[in-house]
Amino acid sequence: MIRLVCSKLLLFVLVGSALAPHAWADGETPPGRDPKQPVDEPYTEKIHKYTTEPVFTSPLVDYLPASNNVPTPQAVLGDIAGAPGILPYAEDVYRYMRLLEKATPRVKVYSIGKTEEGREMIAVAVSSEENLKNLEENRARLSKLADPRTIKLDDAEADKLVAEAVPIYYITGTIHSPETGAPTALMELAYRLAVDESPYIKEIRDGTITLITPVVEVDGRDRMVDVYKWHLAHPKQFYPWLVYWGKYVAHDNNRDAMGVTLKLTENVLNTYVNWKAQVLHDLHESVPYLYDNTIGDEPYNAWIDPILADEWQVIGWNNVSAMTKFGMPGVFAHGDFDTWSPGYLMFIAALHNGISRLYETFGNGGADTEERTLEPEEYARTWYRQNPPLPKVLWSQRDNNNYEETGLLTSLHFFTENKQRFLKNFYLKAKRSTLKPSEEGPAAYVLPGDDPRPGLQAEVLHALQRQAVEISRSRSAFTVTLPAKKAKEPAKGKDKKQEKSEPPARTTREFPAGSYIIRMDQPYSRIADALLDHQYWSPDDPQKTPYDDTGWTFGELFHVQVTRVTDRKVLEVAMDRATQIHAPGGVKGEGTLFAINNNAEPALATLRYKLKDAAIEAAEESFESAGKKFNRGSFLVRNLSRADLDRAAAELGVQVTALSAPPAVKTHPVRAARIAFVHTWLSTQAEGWWRMALDKLAIPYDYKSTQAIAKTTDLRSKYDIILFPPVGYNAGVNAVVNGIPTAWGNPLPWKNTPETPNLVGKNDATDDLRPGLGWEGVAHLQEFVARGGVLLTATDTSSLALSLGFADGISTQNASKMKIVGSVVGTRLVDEASPIAYGYDEKVAAYCDNGPIFSLSSIAGQRGRRRLGAQMHARPTGRGSLDDPDFAVGRQEVAAPEEPRSEVWESPPVLAEQQRNGFRVIPPSLRPRVIFRYADAKDLLVSGLVEGGDEIAEHPAVVDAPSGRGHVVLFSINPVYRGETWGTYAMVLNTILNFDNLNAGRKDAVQ
Ligand SMILES: [Zn+2]
């Protein structure tokens, strides 16, 4: 019998157990405590005290088993897991996990790496003593299942391994720092799994190794705990929002599983892959009360194994079913999360032959118990949510922990009960990945050995290596057959006879020796396929609100050549595994002048900053020398020893040619510009990706908030260029200039104090987050440009700069039906002589997320507009046909002058009528210069979703607007994003290096 300490508790247990006998009379192990094992009564009493409604718990977590030697979370927390007012720092969580490790052989703690700010990340293994003793033998078995090539794809051998292996279920907590509940839930979960002797838990412990990373975003966790502590110390005041989570990004830390650019992604990925885990289950908090988004909504990612889609359904519905039986409201598995993008942390498992899972539970963003009122759509009953959440409820951190633990325990139990099936699937998925060339294709992706951008090529390959993808390199040249492109069906109503032609022939392509081959007959072929292939999201897709980016094709975004090869002969090419991939670099040839070809590789900018004392110039025209062709913008380096240059160039993968004589070509200096980098206090994420890119390239900058800009006079004497990267959330003039209202409320400090020792880290601080750029800051920026500085903006800060009148002759227009949701789009080079375009070809793919639609005009203050006539493909109503014009009755016909024509991206020519007293006509030398434009509508889509693309097609994508003695360079695309857009980095870097010569090659209109 259960010993009860108070009557409230009695009622509680009866409510819970009333359901149990009926629900579990099916031969399955019933959940619930072992009556023979004593309960930790004070702890259990507090569980009940902090749980706000009896239905918010389950027989799995409404008690805590007692132990003589193993400490409960109370040992570190001073109260139970989920207690109000208690939010542990990561190091407290780790301290507890290490206490467990000391107290029981059922727990082991592993350090899995450090964060950007040097904090530790851990993984905690919980299982039976025997399983943990035999970890290495077990790992050997799992490794064979993970790589079926090691057992020659022998199913009988796999079955033997499946029977003997113990599977690994990997759980990760609090990647999103304001989602605070997971660490305490996972502390208590580890205790339960180690201590509880109930048959239900014992089965999990004996059958599965549970691996736990209790805090994924460790830097952000410590900041969040600081903010919460500040709130507890100032209970009557508003508290600061979490403006920084990790060093670089906030919520996007869960969008990094493609590029693997953040330490947290790398550490979790390595742990997942090295342990050969079967599941990666990531914990989030935003939806009442438990949304298991494993099933989610369509479209599903097109590269996953269909076996995984089935596993999502099976596990997800079991989860709902188990918790429904407990009577817990608000548990569901189907909802508005689509499973298209592989950027989520959990998706590491999906594309490495495991099972990805994610919970959204309900958190209060801290440990306060609060009354919460839901939206009607949140509490409505739907077909997939028969027992919906309650409209209004008192909600505690303990309630949240109850849901998290109950969900995880039922999942772990179901997974253990079916472990042979899931282990077999794990093997089958790996086997099918390995058989990809013959079963489904492609056979390989090939990156040619003569790509003009070997540095960028190496970046793509490094990203694949971080994903544990094997890369090979061909020993000699080889040829593959490429599939014939499908003949286009003649359009309806067209003359079919005329358009009918011979079916297109297959083509072949030769690749030189040293080409990189990514074979698809390897266990992790699916992640390589997903990253290198093209995406197509139909505008007619029933899913109208993509959850995240719709396109990401790495070859396109890195501006390197990637060929999808279906010809299986490619696998027979003589090749070696390439482990150390580094672009070749160094000095070749004889001479004291050194030339570096410019192919828009970011390493050139790194080199410029690294070689502080070298005199470097850019050639304004292409030239030939030493038997080589050098593009516009190529570097000419003087005043540097060959040895120094050779060392730097070898390290950076930059190829240098020594010349015996200077080429006869116009040049200008390439200087290491002094950079100010502006951020707001509204959000630091979009700019965080820019910071990360500059840090990776070792390009120094001063990081300044809008408030600091407001306080800094004479910016021009301190800086050459100011980068104002996107703010995010379409922050407009009001938000950026005025900030958050200060007329009421209290200051919201972001600085280190005894209560908040971790807030500032390596970023920035302020006494009050609320004030914005202010009109003084606007004036300082304007003065900076007027005095010859360059202001570079992108997406929403471009719109901001235009709204503030920083540039004449550019307007933005609102899209009415355009939908470009995180897609890869085509751009076209318009002005190849501009330094911003140095090293680029005519076609460049770029990342666009409904970028602002720019139009140009040569008339100050006038919006770019189209005139009736040829440009509109229209004529007024009247007699005749489209090309046989109207006439006026009763007089002779008078011919109209030819209407001037211009392209969509150009300023319409200035008309004679506009020249009359034309004080608004911008002098030709001061007009905006279009460097890149969006491709024509039919070529706009490269990857992802483009709907209504004609609204932005052909409009400017990158514009250089002279302003005062300086320039404003405006991007409609986002050239620096999530570590995935290396191909467009050089547009920004070119602007930086040529800040004082942006007018090079400029051709002005005659009038
Ligand atoms: Zn989240």
What digits encode the pLDDT tens for the residues 373-394? 999 999 999 999 999 999 999 9
36-40, 795-799, 895-899 — which is least confidently predicted?
895-899
Token pair of 10 as six digits: 């009695």
Q: What mean pLDDT is predicted for residues 971-983?
A: 98
Q: DSSP string spanning 30-92?
A: PPS--TTSPB-HHHHHHHHHH-SSGGG--TTTSS-B--SSSPPTHHHHSS-TT-TT----HHH
Please tell me the distance between residue 293's alpha carbon and the centre of ligand 1 in angstroms. Answer: 12
d(CA 436, CA 444): 9
Please tell me the distance between residue 194's alpha carbon and the centre of ligand 1 in angstroms. Answer: 28
Predicted local confidence at residue 900, as pLDDT: 82
Whether 520 contacts 444, CB under 8 Å:
yes
Please tell me the distance between residue 897's alpha carbon and the centre of ligand 1 in angstroms. Answer: 62
Predicted local confidence at residue 19, as pLDDT: 41
Please tell me the distance between residue 360's alpha carbon and the centre of ligand 1 in angstroms. Answer: 7
Please tell me the distance between residue 251's alpha carbon and the centre of ligand 1 in angstroms. Answer: 7
Please tell me the distance between residue 338's alpha carbon and the centre of ligand 1 in angstroms. Answer: 15
Please tell me the distance between residue 681's alpha carbon and the centre of ligand 1 in angstroms. Answer: 21
The pLDDT confidence band at residue 500, using thresholds 50, 70 and 90, is: low
Please tell me the distance between residue 176's alpha carbon and the centre of ligand 1 in angstroms. Answer: 5
Please tell me the distance between residue 245's alpha carbon and the centre of ligand 1 in angstroms. Answer: 12
Taking only the tens place, the pLDDT of each residue in 505-515 is: 789 999 999 99
Please tell me the distance between residue 167's alpha carbon and the centre of ligand 1 in angstroms. Answer: 26
Taking only the tens place, the pLDDT of each residue in 914-938 is: 999 999 999 999 999 999 999 999 9
Please tell me the distance between residue 460's alpha carbon and the centre of ligand 1 in angstroms. Answer: 28
Please tell me the distance between residue 174's alpha carbon and the centre of ligand 1 in angstroms. Answer: 8
Please tell me the distance between residue 284's alpha carbon and the centre of ligand 1 in angstroms. Answer: 4
Four-residue CA torsion sign, 510, 515, 521, 525: negative
Please tell me the distance between residue 173's alpha carbon and the centre of ligand 1 in angstroms. Answer: 10
List phi, psi (to 5°) of 323.
-80, -25
pLDDT at 23 over 90: no
Please tell me the distance between residue 94's alpha carbon and the centre of ligand 1 in angstroms. Answer: 22
Taking only the tens place, the pLDDT of each residue in 606-628 is: 999 999 999 999 999 999 998 99
Please tell me the distance between residue 320's alpha carbon and the centre of ligand 1 in angstroms. Answer: 20
Q: What mean pLDDT is predicted for residues 257-280?
A: 98
Token pair of 103 as six digits: 């107290």
Which residues, at least 6 apart from 8, have a Cβ–Cβ distance to it below 8 Å?
A: 48
Please tell me the distance between residue 969's alpha carbon and the centre of ligand 1 in angstroms. Answer: 35
List phi, psi (to 5°) of 715.
-60, -35
Please tell me the distance between residue 736's alpha carbon and the centre of ligand 1 in angstroms. Answer: 26
Q: What is the pLDDT of the chain when averaged over all its residues? A: 94
Burial 258-295 (b: 16+ CB within 10 A, else e): bbbbbbbbbbbbbbbbebbbbbbbbbbbebbbbbbbbb
Predicted local confidence at residue 15, as pLDDT: 39
Taking only the tens place, the pLDDT of each residue in 520-570 is: 999 999 999 999 999 999 999 999 999 999 999 999 999 999 999 999 999
Q: What mean pLDDT is predicted for residues 415-437?
A: 98
Q: What mean pLDDT is predicted for residues 725-744?
A: 93
Please tell me the distance between residue 178's alpha carbon and the centre of ligand 1 in angstroms. Answer: 8
Please tell me the distance between residue 422's alpha carbon and the centre of ligand 1 in angstroms. Answer: 27
Specify the DSSP class assigned to residue 738.
Answer: I
Please tell me the distance between residue 398's alpha carbon and the centre of ligand 1 in angstroms. Answer: 18
Please tell me the distance between residue 283's alpha carbon and the centre of ligand 1 in angstroms. Answer: 7
Predicted local confidence at residue 3, as pLDDT: 36
Please tell me the distance between residue 188's alpha carbon and the centre of ligand 1 in angstroms. Answer: 21
Please tell me the distance between residue 908's alpha carbon and the centre of ligand 1 in angstroms. Answer: 48
Please tell me the distance between residue 391's alpha carbon and the centre of ligand 1 in angstroms. Answer: 22
Taking only the tens place, the pLDDT of each residue in 867-884 is: 555 556 677 888 888 878
Please tell me the distance between residue 67's alpha carbon and the centre of ligand 1 in angstroms. Answer: 34
Please tell me the distance between residue 922's alpha carbon and the centre of ligand 1 in angstroms. Answer: 49
Please tell me the distance between residue 247's alpha carbon and the centre of ligand 1 in angstroms. Answer: 18
Token pair of 775 as six digits: 């009109």
In the chain, what percentage of residues exceed pLDDT 90?
Answer: 88
pLDDT at 265 over 60: yes
pLDDT at 17 over 50: no
Please tell me the distance between residue 982's alpha carbon and the centre of ligand 1 in angstroms. Answer: 27
pLDDT at 198 over 50: yes
Token pair of 999 as six digits: 């007018």
The pLDDT confidence band at residue 490, using thresholds 50, 70 and 90, is: low
Please tell me the distance between residue 286's alpha carbon and the centre of ligand 1 in angstroms. Answer: 7
Please tell me the distance between residue 285's alpha carbon and the centre of ligand 1 in angstroms. Answer: 6
Pair type for strands 655-659 and 586-588: parallel
| CA distances in angstroms from 691 to 136, 473, 675, 706, 979, listed in the order given | 41, 33, 12, 16, 11
The pLDDT confidence band at residue 9, using thresholds 50, 70 and 90, is: very low
pLDDT at 721 over 60: yes
Whether 619 contacts 663, CB under 8 Å:
yes
Q: DSSP string spanning 533-573?
A: S--B--TT-S--S-SS-S---HHHHTT---EEE--GGGGGS
d(CA 934, CA 955): 6
Please tell me the distance between residue 400's alpha carbon and the centre of ligand 1 in angstroms. Answer: 14
Please tell me the distance between residue 179's alpha carbon and the centre of ligand 1 in angstroms. Answer: 6
Predicted local confidence at residue 864, as pLDDT: 62
Residue found under tokens 């890369």? 471
Predicted local confidence at residue 16, as pLDDT: 40
pLDDT at 708 over 60: yes
Q: What mean pLDDT is predicted for residues 127-152?
A: 98
Please tell me the distance between residue 280's alpha carbon and the centre of ligand 1 in angstroms. Answer: 15
Predicted local confidence at residue 353, as pLDDT: 98
In the chain, what percentage of residues exceed pLDDT 70?
Answer: 95
Whether 785 contacts 779, CB under 8 Å:
no
Taking only the tens place, the pLDDT of each residue in 233-254 is: 999 999 999 999 999 999 999 9
pLDDT at 10 over 50: no
Please tell me the distance between residue 941's alpha carbon and the centre of ligand 1 in angstroms. Answer: 30
d(CA 86, CA 534): 47
Predicted local confidence at residue 119, as pLDDT: 98
Region for residue 552 given its phi and psi (left: phi exceeds 0; alpha: psi -120 to 50; beta: otherwise): alpha
| CA distances in angstroms from 331 to 127, 399, 415, listed in the order given | 27, 13, 18
Please tell me the distance between residue 175's alpha carbon and the centre of ligand 1 in angstroms. Answer: 7
pLDDT at 731 over 90: no
- CA 972 to chain centroid, in Å, comes to 19
> By CB neighbour count within 10 A (0-12 exposed, 13-18 middle, 19+ buried), where does 850 fall?
middle
Nearest to 8 by CA among 43, 59, 54: 54
Q: Report the amino acid identity of residue 144.
A: K
Please tell me the distance between residue 357's alpha carbon and the centre of ligand 1 in angstroms. Answer: 13
Predicted local confidence at residue 865, as pLDDT: 61
Specify the DSSP class assigned to residue 735.
Answer: I
Please tell me the distance between residue 252's alpha carbon and the centre of ligand 1 in angstroms. Answer: 10
The pLDDT confidence band at residue 358, using thresholds 50, 70 and 90, is: very high
Kindly list the protein residues that place their beta carbon closer than 5 angstroms to ligand 1, a single-atom ion.
Answer: 176, 179, 284
Taking only the tens place, the pLDDT of each residue in 843-869 is: 999 999 999 999 999 999 887 665 555
